Amino acid sequence: MAIRLGDEAPNFTAETTEGPIDFHEWKSGAWAVFFSHPADFTPVCTTELGRTAALQSEFVRRNVKTIAVSVDPLESHKNWAGDIGDVGGTDLNFPIIADESRVVSNLYDMLHPGEGDTSTVRSVFIIDPANKVRLTLTYPKSVGRNFDEILRVIDALQLTDAAPVSTPVDWVPGGRVIVSPALSTADATERFGDVEEVKPYLRWTPQPTV
């Protein structure tokens, strides 16, 4: 069954490169980036996991835990870890789930449709501390993910959770934001100080400190 935004992220238990986990317990109180990769020892996946390892300090600063999954066995993941470190320049520092039974992949609808195999698509789930799914992305096997974009989305979600604003097209942290339609211009001015009304429904303000 497809997972929609706002759904509770399905819980599971699994073996990982860092030992057995209960997913909800493992991420308790934190955000999570949960992503799948088609197979170990493949070029695109190696670059992606290497990039994730290199960005760990950025994820930690945002109270985010990262975890990957594929249908390859645990021993394969452990053997692959050296290549991930060599290519990305940082040792593997987050868990990879061994999902040989496909239980987790099926639970999150990650198996590739129409490909004639049981490998996982490049799915990404951003899950908040309340275990709600806040973003889903699915890439074809041939296209690597952009983890700078994943960090940008996390920044936007955390900002808009904390203040009555939305982020506009191509927003990056530090850029101006849109005042929520639920807030009057007078109340927005009182709260944010600087409010520019372009249309009655579109009002800009500098990114607030939260």
Q: What is the DSSP string of 27-67?
A: TTTSEEEEEE-S-TT-HHHHHHHHHHHHTHHHHHHTTEEEE
Neighbours of 196 (CB within 10 A): 12
Phi, psi of 198, deg, nearest 5: -90, -45
Cβ atoms of residues 33 and 47 within 8 Å:
no
Q: Which of 32, 45, 154, 188 is catalytic?
A: 45
Active site residue 45: yes
Return all residues near 163 (Cβ < 8 A) that are at least 6 apart.
Answer: 208, 210
By annotation, the residues acting in catalysis are 45
